Amino acid sequence: MSRLLKPARVLLLGPPGCGKGTQTSRLLKRFGISGMSSGDLLRQHIKDKTEIGSLASSIIKQGKLLPDDVMVKIIESELRSRSWLSPSQSWLLDGFPRTEPQASLLDSQILSPASANLNFIVELQVPHEIILDRIANRLVHVPSGRVYNLTYNPPKVEGKDDVTGEPLSRRPDDDPEIFRQRLVEFDKLTKPLVTYYENANKDAVFEVAGETSDIIFPQLESEMIKRFGEKAE
């Protein structure tokens, strides 16, 4: 159950490796809301060897983005099947929308008709050097999307997920060459989104900067409480 007084529909924006996944899990736990990561959805498709999975795998390997229409369809059906298209639901999106066409399709065709537009858009700003260092040390548990870092946040048992004990893996797209390409795509396609949302709904946009997730999280936490209120225990 959500511990917020008002429904929060949150989008986390920021460069690859800036810690969106980490902030997402901490926010979900802290406020009892649900989240969806487009990258995790695609990795699950790849694991399940679906048709979308095979398209995703070839594109992700190059550090490129999937076509907007494909992404919008995947996300729309996911939003519907989770019954999130209602003004009373609280949820958080990580990784979608990621381009301006995705954002405007999401707004006009999916969220506006449900009176469920995004009301908190967070731009995470993390220095470049920090990001590159993190990626070199990152491990993931694919089924849950849990992220570990060999330096800051190692798993309790080497190479194993803390919760399930299942093996952890490196993301193939964390290879330095591909990662560079992902940063290029981010600058070209995702950065303009901040301007889009500043024009569409400036009050909802919140920028937060910091070198570590521990510095960023408390700022996000207090901003959420300020905007949405917290239920008494």
- Annotated binding-site residue numbers for AMP: 38, 43, 64-66, 95-98, 102, 171, 182
Q: Is 65 in the site for ligand ATP (CB under 6 A)?
A: yes
Instruction: Say whether 137 sits in a helix, a strand or coil.
Output: coil
If you compute the radius of gyration of the chain from its CA atoms, what whole number of angstroms results?
Answer: 17
Exposure letters 56-83 (e unless 16+ CB within 10 A, then b): bbeebeebbbbebeebbebbeeebeeee
Binding-site positions for GTP read 17-22, 138, 147-148, 213
The nearer residue to Mg ion, 9 or 98, going by C-beta atoms, is: 98
* Nearest residue to 16 via CA among 196, 152, 138: 138
**Binding residues for ligand ATP restricted to 45-64, rule: CB under 6 A:** 59-60, 64
Q: Is 39 in the site for ligand ATP (CB under 6 A)?
A: yes
91, 35 contact by CB (below 8 A): yes
Exposure letters 21-42 (e unless 16+ CB within 10 A, then b): bbbbbbbeeebebebbbbbbbb
> CA torsion angle for 70, 81, 221, 135 (degrees, to 10)?
-40
Q: Is 182 in the site for ligand ATP (CB under 6 A)?
A: yes
Find the residue with minimal CB distance to ligand ATP.
39
Q: Which of 10, 13, 36, 66 binds ligand ATP (CB under 6 A)?
A: 66
The nearer residue to ligand ATP, 6 or 73, going by C-beta atoms, is: 73
Piece in contact with ligand ATP (CB under 6 A), picked from 12-20, 82-90, 156-164, 195-203: 12-20
The site for Mg ion, by CB under 5 A, has a size of 3
What are the residues binding Mg ion (CB under 5 A)?
A: 20-21, 39
What are the residues binding ligand ATP (CB under 6 A)?
A: 16-17, 20-21, 38-39, 42, 59-60, 64-66, 71, 95-96, 98, 102, 173, 182
